[in-house]
Structure 1
Amino acid sequence: MLKEKHDWTYFKRRIYIKNTTVNEIFRMCVTPKGLTEWFVEKTEYKDNKGRIREQNEIIHPGDTFKWTYHIGSTVEGKILAINENKSLSFTFGENEPNTNDYVVVTFTFHEKRDKIWFDILQDNMADSNYGRVFYYISCNMGWVFHMNNMKSIIENNYDLRVENENRMHVDAPSGYPLENYQWTSFKIQEYFKTTKEEVFQKWTSSNQIIQWFLKEAIFLTSNNEVRSFNEKIKKEDKYIWKFHSGLELSGEILDIVDNSLFKFTFGKKEPDSEENVVVTVTFHDNGNNHCRIEISQENIADNEYGYVTYNLSCILGWSYFLTNLRSVFESGCDLREQNQQLESESRSYSILK
């Protein structure tokens, strides 16, 4: 069980990026043009006299901004502080509707020996259903995608954003409308520029699933025999999954239907429970060699342990791995860190104490 109540008023995220400098990342965040290269579609910054800043001009504290995303939604705010090559802070919307109290986001930029990383702290969120869902979960999912998109662009020259469609990263249809958010289950979906048969294969053998999700995967038959590296898994197989972050998980394959469904247990509902959390992955043909997959995670405990361990943590984890699966298919780039400490920080920093 959780040793203490989770703090829903802030989160942190971290991304390590190769082949760059702190100055390059900083300028991608503090110029109007730079921000559109990895985050939003359009920006407009005005100085304290109302002058619109040029696209390559560095923004200043006191500037106001309006950002427009690819899906057409907008956010307005104010630049609070800038420290060259070190940090940027800005407001990011009211923490509750119709208040004058604002969520604050701070970017910090770091370099130590051969490592360069970029942290995001989102703070002053309301500990209410609105704050938890709209800011903690939804924004966290957004930052998961956009930080990895920056990494993809810098390391592999590939932009993962989707243009001309009403979405920009992993969709979480169970989260909307926000006031009806379901804490004991969730659904998320992602779209791929390939067939559902190709995506299905990435889930159903040790060789395939380690290419985007796991460090090591062992599948055992009903006779307790280890399946070969390339052998297709079957219903009632047991699994042992090891992640690059150091996490290890065991469970059972509950059902599998070729190119359509993959269902498995995903940990105990609570530490001493006999019940399991269950994940169902379904694969859908969208035509023109495109497909959609949907992940449903159910039987989550209706308490703080369930909310944090299996709703929050898992929805962020699936967002990360589905983004990586898209990256593997579309650009051939695996965004995961192979180092255990770096991967743990990149995935889980937002809930580390």
Structure 2
Amino acid sequence: MEKLQWNSFTKKIHIHKSIEELYDLWATPKGITSWFLKHAEYSTIDGQIRKPSERIQKGDTYTWQWHNWDEKEKGEVLEANGNNYIEISFSSSKVSVKLEKKNNTTMVILSQFDIPVDDKSKLQIHYGCSNGWTFWLANLKAFVEHGILLNETEINLQENELSGYEFVNM
């Protein structure tokens, strides 16, 4: 086992769905908003907004908005091979999603890396995102395999400043 570090983490989950179908759930505005985000907008290098079913490409920029979270995340698509790998800038770091065929499943391997190692980043990015991605990967599996969403989209969970750390389904 590799040593755990503050500047990166990896989360893995087996999902019973094809690589192509899972790739589109990560690589299109329609796909990523079906299980993860309230709103996702991707713009091409020349400023054109991508259509809901259009796949993202390297060089695109994005704006993401979650249910129960007022802030928007903005970043860049650093890699999107159209098949099984996506990498984006995210929250002062980078996130990659790799899809691999394993037995009768697709293994989703999410890594967040190049995380700053100051105390604020250790808490908010390493701890916060690590917990967050664990939930969102479980949500993706529940959505794909059982047709249900685990995240809260109707009740406002933002009643206090610790909501993002206390609720498991933000």
Q: Secondary structure at the match of 1:119?
A: strand
**Letter of the structure 2 residue corresponding to residue 50 of structure 1:** G
CA distance in 2, matches of 1:36, 1:50: 21
Letter in 2 for 1:173: L
Tell me how far 1:6 sits from its aligned partner.
4.2
Picking from 91, 103, 123, the partner of 2:113 is 123
Match of 2:89? Answer: 91
SS in 1 for 2:35: coil
Deviations 1:125-147 (A, max 9, x none): 11111111110011111111111
After TM superposition, give the deviation of residue 189 of structure 1 in Å. Answer: 4.1
- 1:220-265: CA deviation from partner (whole Å, max 9, x where unpaired): xxxxxxxxxxxxxxxxxxxxxxxxxxxxxxxxxxxxxxxxxxxxxx
User: Counterparts of 1:142 and 1:110 in 2: how far apart (Å)?
Assistant: 22
Residue in 1 that maps onto 2:37: 40
Whether contact under 8 Å (1:172, 1:189) holds in the other structure is no
Whether the aligned pair in 1 keeps the contact of 2:42 and 2:49 (CA below 8 Å) is yes
Structure 1 residue 34: Cα displacement: 0.3
Residue of structure 1 in register with 2:132 after alignment: 142
1:51, 1:70 → 2: CA distance? 25
* 2:10 paired residue number: 12
Unaligned runs of 5+ in 1: 95-102, 177-187, 191-318, 324-353
Equivalent residue in structure 1 for 2:162, among 170, 173, 181: 173
Checking the alignment, whether the CA contact within 8 Å between 1:11 and 1:136 is kept in structure 2 is yes
- In the alignment, is residue 49 of structure 1 matched against residue 42 of structure 2? no
> What is the rounded CA distance, in whole Å, between the counterparts of 1:27 and 1:40 in structure 2?
14
Output the CA distance in 2 between the equivalents of 1:189 and 1:131. Answer: 18
C-alpha contact (below 8 Å) 2:55/2:82 kept by paired residues: no
Give the CA RMSD over aligned residues: 2.3
Distance in 2 of aligned mates of 1:62 and 1:10: 23
Q: Secondary structure at the match of 1:37?
A: helix
Please give the alpha-carbon distance, in whole angstroms, between the structure 2 residues aligned to 1:42 and 1:6: 33
Q: In the TM superposition, what is the alpha-carbon distance from 1:167 to its structure 2 partner?
A: 3.4
Give me the TM-score of the superposition, normalised by structure 1: 0.44
| Residues in 1 aligned to 2:104 and 2:154: alpha-carbon distance in whole angstroms | 38
Structure-1 separation of matches of 2:80 and 2:112: 16
Runs of 4 or more consecutive aligned structure 1 residues displaced over 2 Å after TM superposition: 164-168, 171-174
C-alpha distance in 2, partners of 1:58/1:138? 28
1:62 lines up with 2:62 in the alignment: no
Unpaired segments ≥5 residues, structure 2: none
Greater Cα radius of gyration, structure 1 or 2: 1
Shift of 1:54: 0.4
1:108 matched residue in structure 2: 98
Residue by residue, what CA displacement relative to the aligned partner does 1:133-164 show, whole Å, maximum 9, x if unpaired? 11001111111111100100111110111113
Which of the pair has the greater relative contact order for Cα pairs under 8 Å at 6+ separation? 2
C-alpha distance in 1, partners of 2:75/2:105?
31
**Separation in structure 2 between the aligned mates of residue 61 and residue 173 of structure 1, nearest angstrom:** 35
Question: What displacement does 1:43 show?
Answer: 0.7
Q: Structure 1 residues 167, 142: closer, same or farther in 2, change over 3 A?
A: farther
Shift of 1:172: 9.2
